[in-house]
């Protein structure tokens, strides 16, 4: 599987390991830490799933739903009125979400292929790493299939990202996406349908927009927007 690594991933993994209790892994394990006022947590787990949720501040909301086995989820929110939604519906999916600020929102859904004709694996093994810092950033990420990977960094105010990764019916997914938004009011939409595709999207500035569609196998794209009010549309098939 393609991976986009960085200091954030290491930091999140260390925090998760140190903060999670380690009783028998054969049963679902959940750890919740909340310091503040009017914070909310919903947690559903099945066998051999593990989740760690930490909220520091007021009026934060976290929802983690783990169906299937051997999922791992970590959610850390620091600030006010942040919201995180995680749904892991296949097997062996991994999610880390960190939100630092006010009014940030992230939604991550991971599942095996929904196509009955898919012949390959149908296990999942999707990875997602999310970091939001600032005000009113929004992310919607959907991973369908096997071995998809996404890393998203949103910093500053009112950035928005929509990412859909889906395998086709004749191969595993193994699609990879890296999104960095640093500025005000940036917007990116990415759709990957196929296998072994890579997209890197970097937005540095304000009010930039990017639309990327990859449909096929072994496509590779790198979009850099440096400045304000840039617009990009890219289609690969």
CB 90 within 8 Å of CB 110: yes
| Phi and psi torsions of 13, nearest 5° | -65, -40
| DSSP helix/strand/coil, 14 | helix
Give the Cα separation of 90 and 113 in Å (integer).
Answer: 9
Distances (CA, A) of 44 to 50, 107, 130, 172, 192: 10, 16, 21, 28, 29
Q: What does pLDDT average to in each consecutive run of 10 residues of the chain (237 residues)?
A: 44 45 60 96 93 97 95 97 96 96 98 65 86 98 95 98 88 90 98 95 98 95 97 95
Give the Cα separation of 93 and 150 in Å (integer).
Answer: 12
Which pLDDT does position 170 carry in this prediction?
66
List beta partners, residue 151. Answer: 129, 178
Which pLDDT does position 190 carry in this prediction?
98
Angle (CA) 173 63 131, round 5°: 60
Q: Considering the entire predicted model, what is its pTM?
A: 0.88
Residue 12 makes CB contacts below 8 A (sequence gap 6+) with: 74, 76, 96, 98, 129
Which pLDDT does position 122 carry in this prediction?
67
Give the Cα separation of 18 and 41 in Å (integer).
Answer: 20
């Amino acid at each position: 599987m393609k991976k986009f690594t960085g200091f954030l991933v290491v930091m999140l993994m260390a925090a998760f390991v140190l903060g999670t209790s380690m009783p028998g892994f054969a049963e679902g394990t959940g750890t919740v830490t909340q310091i503040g006022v009017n914070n909310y947590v919903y947690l559903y787990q099945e066998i051999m799933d593990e989740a760690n949720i930490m909220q520091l501040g007021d009026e934060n909301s976290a929802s983690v739903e783990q169906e299937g086995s051997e999922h791992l989820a970590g959610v850390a929110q620091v600030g006010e009125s942040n919201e995180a939604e995680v749904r892991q519906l296949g097997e062996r999916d991994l999610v880390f979400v960190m939100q630092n600020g006010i009014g940030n929102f992230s939604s991550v859904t991971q599942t095996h292929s929904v196509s009955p004709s898919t012949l390959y694996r149908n296990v999942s093994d999707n990875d997602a790493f999310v970091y939001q810092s600032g005000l009113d950033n929004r992310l919607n990420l959907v991973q369908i299939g096997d071995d998809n990977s996404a890393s998203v960094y949103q910093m500053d105010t009112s950035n928005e990202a929509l990412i859909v990764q889906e395998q086709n019916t004749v191969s595993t997914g193994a699609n990879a996406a890296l999104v960095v938004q640093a500025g005000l009011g940036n917007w990116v939409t990415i759709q990957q349908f196929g296998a072994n595709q890579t997209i890197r999207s970097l937005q540095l500035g304000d009010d930039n927009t990017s639309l990327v569609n990859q449909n096929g196998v072994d496509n590779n794209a790198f979009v850099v927007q440096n400045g304000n009010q840039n617009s990009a549309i890219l289609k690969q098939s």
